[in-house]
Amino acid sequence: MSRIGKQTVIVPKGTEVNLSGTVFSAKGPKGTITRDFPGNVKINIEGDQITFTPGKENDPFIRALWGTYASHVNNIIIGVNEGFAKTLVLDGVGFKAEVSGDSLNLALGFSHPVKVKIPEGLNVTVEKNNIKVEGIDKELVGQFTAKVRAFKKPEPYKGKGFHYSDEVIRRKQGKRAV
């Protein structure tokens, strides 16, 4: 049984939730998110509580979707009320990041500058090689930061490259005299 699927999601005041067919939408102070939830997991909205019930108890795929849908709905509710933010730190001599218009320009030691288009719905700010990505969609924030981080992952000897602000990089010792 899904522990996450059994939990009820509380809708805060000032947030409107709506379910029409399989399309769930939430509107809050930060914005609106609409998402389709196909499948046999039923979403029940009763006042300020949202509960989830699986259609077929014995189907493992439906049981897997039960907790997943509950987690997605919870993230939508949090996103339209508080939003999500991730911070990337760029370490390395000569590495630079700046925002110009709707793109993030990166100088990562390659022979060419790297330009990344910022998706609509995200707010990206750069301050002293700290890139802060904010938005109401948790998946979009996470996907964009992972895409940027993939350009220059942190290397284990000096720690140069992108890493999350709360990430711990395991360091290696390097060469040592015998």
Structural domains of the chain in order of their starting residue, each with its CATH number = 3-81 (3.90.930.12), 84-164 (3.90.930.12)
pTM over 0.85: yes
For the residues 8-23, what does the mean pLDDT come to? 93
pLDDT of the residue at 50: 94
What CA dihedral angle connects 36, 40, 45 and 50, to 10 degrees? -90
Residue 139 has pLDDT above 90, yes or no: yes
Contact of 107 with 151, CB cutoff 8 Å: no
pLDDT at 122 over 60: yes
Structure-token pair, residue 33: 């998110």
Contacts of 17 (CB under 8 A, 6+ apart): 11, 24, 25, 26, 27, 45, 50, 77
Residue 1 has pLDDT above 80, yes or no: no
Q: What is the pLDDT of residues 64-76, one digit of tens each?
A: 889 999 999 999 9
Predicted pLDDT at 56 = 75
Q: What is the pLDDT of residue 26?
A: 96
Q: Percentage of residues in the chain with pLDDT exceeding 90?
A: 71
Evaluate whether 123 touches 111 at the Cβ level (below 8 Å): no
Q: Give the list of residues 6+ apart from residue 75 with CB closer than 8 angstroms, or none.
A: 138, 139
